[in-house]
C-alpha cells in the first residue's frame, strides 16, 4: 500500500508534512479532502481506528464558529456528519500507509515510521 496523505492544501501542517516527505524522498499521494472530497466509509474507518475525538479538530476556526448547540453532546455519528459536511474540521494530516493510519505531523515520529 502506497502512502496517502489526506489534508487541505493550504493547511500549514500539511505543507510541513509534504515538504518533509519530499526531503526524505518518501513517495506519497496527496488527497485534498476539500477539493477531492472524502468517502464517508473511509472517514468511518478512520474513526474506528483512531476515535472521533482524535480526528475532530476542536481548536480550529471552523469548529469554534459552530453554534454551541452543535458542539454539545457530540458522538461518533454527529462528529462524522460534521467532518463530512466541513472537511476543515478534520485534524490534519491523516496518513494511510502499510503500517496503519495516523493523524498529525511529527518529524521525529515520521522519521522512525517512514524514512529509509
Burial class (CB in 10 A: 0-12, 13-18, 19+), 113: middle
Sheet holding 28-32, edge to edge: 28-32, 3-7, 94-97, 100-103
Exactly one of 11, 21, 79, 95 is catalytic; which is it? 11
Rg (CA), the chain: 14
End-to-end CA distance of the chain: 16
Q: Can 34 be counted among the known catalytic residues?
A: no
Residues belonging to the active site: 11
Amino acid at each position: 500500500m502506497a502512502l496517502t496523505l489526506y489534508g487541505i492544501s493550504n493547511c500549514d501542517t500539511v505543507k510541513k508534512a509534504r515538504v518533509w516527505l519530499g526531503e526524505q524522498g518518501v513517495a506519497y499521494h496527496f488527497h485534498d479532502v476539500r477539493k477531492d472530497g472524502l468517502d464517508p466509509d473511509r472517514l468511518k474507518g478512520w474513526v474506528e481506528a483512531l476515535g472521533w475525538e482524535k480526528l475532530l479538530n476542536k481548536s480550529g476556526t471552523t469548529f469554534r464558529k459552530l453554534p454551541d448547540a452543535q458542539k454539545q453532546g457530540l458522538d461518533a455519528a454527529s462528529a462524522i456528519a460534521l467532518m463530512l459536511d466541513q472537511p476543515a474540521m478534520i485534524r490534519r494530516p491523516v496518513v494511510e500507509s502499510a503500517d496503519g493510519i495516523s493523524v498529525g505531523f511529527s518529524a521525529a515520529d515520521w522519521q522512525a515510521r517512514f524514512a529509509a
